[in-house]
Amino acid sequence: MIEIDQIMSDMARRRPIFCSEADLQHEIALELRLRQPRQQIRLEYPLGGDLRGAIDVFLPGERPFALELKYLCKGLVAELDGERFTLRQQSAHDIRRHDVCKDVARMEAFVRRTNHSAAVLVVSNDPAYWRPRRRTDTVDAAFDIAEAKELAGILQWGSGAGAGTTRGREVPLQLTGRYPLAWQEYSNLGVAAGRFRYLWIPISAPMAEAQRRRGFRDSRASVSGRGGRAGLPGDFKAASARSPALS
C-alpha cells in the first residue's frame, strides 16, 4: 500500500525544498513513477463535465485518484548541494487560504461526479498557515487551515472583507464532508523559513465512505499492494490523516 507519509518522507530526503508549485507537481509525479514504474500519471488533467480547471496530478487506472497541490511559500534563500533556491514571499495569506479551501470544494465536486478518490496536498514553509491565529475575527477566519482546525460546512468571507480580497471569490464554499487538519513535518533546512510542513486532506468517494460506514473495510485500504495490484491509484492513502466523514 502506498502511503502519503512514506512518499513525503522519501521525497524529503531527495527534495527537501521545491522552487515552485510546478516543481512540487513534477517531483510528486516522479516519486510515484519511481515507486510504480507502470503507473500512468497525468499532469494538469482537465476536470471535465461542468467543472472548469484541471487536476494537478491524476492517476488513471482501475481506481483513479486525483491530487490537487498547493505550495505556499515564505521568502527564503537557501543553498542545497550547490543549488541555490530562492522562494519569494507570496503574502496574501487570506487569498491563499481561500484557494486551499476552494481546492477541497473542487475535489469534493469531482469526487461526487466521478466517484473517484481525491486529495489536496498543501506544502508550506510559512508558519502563518499552520500556527493558530492570534485573532479570530479576520475576514478569512472561515478558511483557516491552521493545525487542529477543521474544514466543514459553508465557508465564506467575513463581513469586513474588501472587494479586492473577495473579487472572483464571492461565492461561499460548501463542503459536505468534515476535514480535520493535521500538519506533518516535511523537512528542515536549518535556516530562517527553512522548516517545511505538509497538510494532507483526503477526500474519499461517497460509495467508499458509505461502505466504510456500513462496516465494510475501506476500499482504499483494503488492497495490500501485493498480488499484482500494488500501486493502483486507490491505494494512495495517508497513515496519519483521518478519513473525512460525510455529514
Partner DNA sequence: TCTATGGACCGCCGACAGTA
Partner DNA sequence: TACTGTCGGCGGTCCATAGA
**Positions that interact with DNA (CB under 7 A):** 20-22, 46, 52-53, 71, 73, 88-95, 99, 102, 106, 126-128, 131, 133-135, 138-140, 158, 160-165, 168, 192
Cell of 74: 515564505
Cell of 48: 471535465
* Contact between 151 and 178 (Cβ < 8 Å): yes
Whose Cβ is closer to DNA: residue 75's or residue 225's?
A: 75
Whose Cβ is closer to DNA: residue 92's or residue 207's?
A: 92
Cβ 157 to DNA, closest distance in Å? 8
Whose Cβ is closer to DNA: residue 138's or residue 243's?
A: 138
Q: How far apart are CA 55 and CA 40, in angstroms?
A: 14
DSSP category for residue 244: P
Cβ 26 to DNA, closest distance in Å? 13
First and final CA of the chain: distance in angstroms?
A: 28
Cβ 216 to DNA, closest distance in Å? 34
Which residues are 19's β-sheet partners?
Answer: none
Whose Cβ is closer to DNA: residue 174's or residue 240's?
A: 174
* Contact between 202 and 119 (Cβ < 8 Å): yes
DSSP helix/strand/coil, 155: strand
Q: How far is CA 187 from the centre of its chain?
A: 17
Whose Cβ is closer to DNA: residue 154's or residue 163's?
A: 163
Whose Cβ is closer to DNA: residue 63's or residue 183's?
A: 183
Cβ 124 to DNA, closest distance in Å? 11
Q: How far apart are CA 65 and CA 63, in angstroms?
A: 7
Cβ 126 to DNA, closest distance in Å? 7
Cβ 174 to DNA, closest distance in Å? 16
Q: How far apart are CA 37 and CA 23, in angstroms?
A: 20
